Structure 1
Amino acid sequence: MNNSDLELITRVAWLHFMEGMTQREIARHLNISQPKVARLLDRAQKSGIVKISIESPLANCLTIEKKLQELFPSLEDSLVVPASPRQDLLETLGRAGAWYLERVLSDGDLVGIAWGRTLKQVALSIKSAPVKNLKFVTLVGGLTASASLNPYTIGERLASIFEGECYYLYAPAVVESEEIRDFYLRERINQKTLDLARQAKWSLLGIGAVDPRYSIYALTGFIDYHEWELLLQKGAVGDMVGQFYNREGEIIDTPLHRRTVAIPLEDIRHMPRVIGIAGGDNKVEAILGALRGGFINILITDEETALKIIERGEKNE
């Protein structure tokens, strides 16, 4: 039994035996057929996962997922995975993101995507597509360096895997002035892309920390020392689609914000299914801010990060 099978069998068993959900409810919740739910429950019993309780290293993660959703009512779903000491955290999150997408996406879905190391790893972790004809749309402009982290590169790979198409914002993510930003946003092709982005059924976003050592902005040179200082003075803790916010999820308005070519975070709040994927000690405050700001309603993270989010979230209730 591979890890993917174990994940699904454990989840189905937990929902049925511990949460009391019917097979029909589980099938609808996990986007799988009811006969498959029955087969998975049978395998759970025959393999020994289900005894008096659910015996699996993932059971604790399911408890944590439930606690997250109780603490943050806007969180419609979550996926918490054990962090393996033998595997890089980015690889762990990439595999988790790939597993989630493979489970929820349907033929013809429109998916918004951003940039970053974690999204790159998600794209690399998807080996075969269970569905086809997907459309991907970039939610932020392109990078001038670090090509593998570019939304264009990630979108192109995903479109190839899912035998679909990708639509791009034709502009750098950060430009020299607000006037140039407005020029790009007025371009007809970019207006069409943003209109399409607002219709995305799913969106997959990385969550960045305000840390010059790891930020994509440091890699690309988009932000200089003075801009970092201004962001820190204003209480920035994280960024999504190139826009920064504080620990309460309030968007921070700076000259950088007004030079960024991306779908506004205000619009992200109104999109139906926004998946935030991130993990690590340096991302805890950024994830909390994203949850409080209502920028994501689905979270994919690792067990240690999730526990710290719960701990800090409970202190501020």
Structure 2
Amino acid sequence: MREILDIQKQLLPDLLDTMKERYTILHHIMVSGMVGRRTLALSLNTTERILRSEVDFLKAQGLIEIETSGMRISVAGRQLLESIEPMVKELFGLNELEERIRSYYGLKQVVVVPGDSDTSPHTKKELGRAGAAVLRKYVSKNEVIAVTGGSTMAEVAYHLTSSTSLKGCWFVPARGGLGESVDFQANTIASTMAKKTGASYRLLHVPDHLGEEAYQSLMQDGTILEIIEFIRKARIVIHGIGEAMVMARRRKVDEATTASLQNDGALAEAFGYYFDRGGKILHKMPTVGLRIEDIQEMDCVIGVAGGKSKGVAIASVLQFGREDILVTDEAAAVEVVRMLTS
């Protein structure tokens, strides 16, 4: 396949450019579900006039369907995207990024989607779709699956659908999270994932950020302890990765701790733990839920995060050495690879 693409690049470069453009349009329509021409043009940073001819071509080929409410992908269009995905990864240079990261960190799998989540809502949606696909691939029946909060995890939840492999599973929050926006709380995401897949769920109604006294008090509560024990049965965890200082502000970490994290070189946050460039844990928030020792015993740890701004944070968490699978985007992957040589 690579040899054919190399020949096409030399003899028919315009053909490959056209293929990229049409793939991108078709892919946007698939991820959007139903989308109007104006919205799609804005998302692709093009004009409706330029888009119109491409949309007409895709409709003539039977790859999309146009209704009064907008455009949607057809069954044939979805099948085409699935069949050409390996070629597209080669075309965008994503295979090489995936393999470099996978081999360097010793991961089971790396999935890189085109684009930059920082600047493209579509890329963030695609990140969620890819994360959902990876979860379906690795989950077994009757599993307990722990999930963290955040906007990326909310996208993963949105793209989950009913699956035989998820029947009988339980979704649980990896930690307390009542301090965040309701839509992005781990509780909300766990319940959404369960409802979308026909699985079950349990919730943990405790604040995300606790003082030591409050933490010790909660750990004496029999109901809370029972739920925590259930959460710690999880063999799969799917989680986001945050920039350390951004997450410290969002979690309302006190000024002294924030200053200490900054001075110590904290770059990433995951599971309530803060990591430096070498993957060393610098600080743990006193939160109720999964502990780092629970995560180290997991059968499958799936990290889903993207955006150029998170590249350094992703690399820091990978250096910790407990990830099994990474789902990220092109912009973040380029940053991670850049750090390998810097």
TM-score w.r.t. structure 2 length?
A: 0.69
Higher Cα Rg, which structure = 2
Quote how far apart the aligned CAs of 1:188 are: 3.0
Residue 157 of structure 1 is matched in structure 2 by 192
Mapped contact 1:207–1:277 kept (Cα < 8 A): yes
Mapped contact 2:169–2:199 kept (Cα < 8 A): yes
Residues 1:6 and 1:196: Cα distance change in structure 2 (over 3 Å) = farther
- In structure 2, stretches of 5+ residues that fail to align are 1-74
Residue 249 of structure 1 is matched in structure 2 by 279
Residue 112 of structure 2 is matched in structure 1 by 80
Residue 174 of structure 2 is matched in structure 1 by 139
Counterpart residue type for residue 69 of structure 1: R
1:40-94, Cα deviation, whole Å (9 max, x unpaired): xxxxxxxxxxxxx956556732232221111112x11111111278643322211
Mapped contact 2:244–2:268 kept (Cα < 8 A): yes
Q: Deviating runs (4+, > 6 A) in structure 1?
A: 1-4
- 2 CA distance for matches of 1:244 and 1:56? 33
SS in 2 for 1:261: coil
Mapped contact 2:244–2:266 kept (Cα < 8 A): yes
Deviates more, 1:261-270 or 1:64-73: 261-270
Larger helix share, 1 or 2: 2
SS in 1 for 2:282: coil
Out of 75, 86, 102, the residue aligned to residue 136 of structure 2 is 102
Mapped contact 1:274–1:295 kept (Cα < 8 A): yes
Counterpart check, 1:276 vs 2:303: yes
SS in 2 for 1:89: helix
Mapped contact 1:147–1:153 kept (Cα < 8 A): yes
Out of 256, 270, 273, the residue aligned to residue 240 of structure 1 is 270
Counterpart residue type for residue 203 of structure 2: Y
Residues 1:55 and 1:122: Cα distance change in structure 2 (over 3 Å) = closer
Residue 35 of structure 1 is matched in structure 2 by none
Q: Kindly, what percent of the aligned residue pairs are identical?
A: 27
1:135-186, Cα deviation, whole Å (9 max, x unpaired): 11211102234100111110111111122221233321111x2122122234
Out of 280, 288, 296, the residue aligned to residue 315 of structure 2 is 288
Residue 182 of structure 1 is matched in structure 2 by 216
Mapped contact 1:238–1:287 kept (Cα < 8 A): yes
| 1:1-317 map, 5 Å | 5=79, 9=83, 54=87, 60-73=93-106, 75-83=107-115, 87-131=121-165, 132-175=167-210, 177-212=211-246, 217=247, 222-253=252-283, 257-315=284-342
Mapped contact 2:245–2:262 kept (Cα < 8 A): no
- 2 CA distance for matches of 1:2 and 1:114? 35
Mapped contact 1:207–1:239 kept (Cα < 8 A): yes
Mapped contact 1:242–1:262 kept (Cα < 8 A): no
1:279-314, Cα deviation, whole Å (9 max, x unpaired): 112211211111111232110001221122112123
Residues 1:241 and 1:6: Cα distance change in structure 2 (over 3 Å) = farther
SS in 2 for 1:262: coil
Residues 1:3 and 1:92: Cα distance change in structure 2 (over 3 Å) = farther
Residues 1:207 and 1:145: Cα distance change in structure 2 (over 3 Å) = closer
- 2 CA distance for matches of 1:195 and 1:208? 26
Counterpart residue type for residue 79 of structure 1: V
Quote how far apart the aligned CAs of 1:236 are: 0.9
SS in 1 for 2:252: coil
Mapped contact 1:136–1:167 kept (Cα < 8 A): yes
SS in 2 for 1:259: coil
- 2 CA distance for matches of 1:143 and 1:116? 12
Mapped contact 1:269–1:294 kept (Cα < 8 A): no
Mapped contact 1:95–1:125 kept (Cα < 8 A): yes
Residues 1:118 and 1:86: Cα distance change in structure 2 (over 3 Å) = closer
Quote how far apart the aligned CAs of 1:268 are: 1.2
Residues 1:8 and 1:140: Cα distance change in structure 2 (over 3 Å) = same
Quote how far apart the aligned CAs of 1:8 are: 5.0
Deviates more, 1:92-101 or 1:202-211: 92-101
Count of equivalent residues? 265
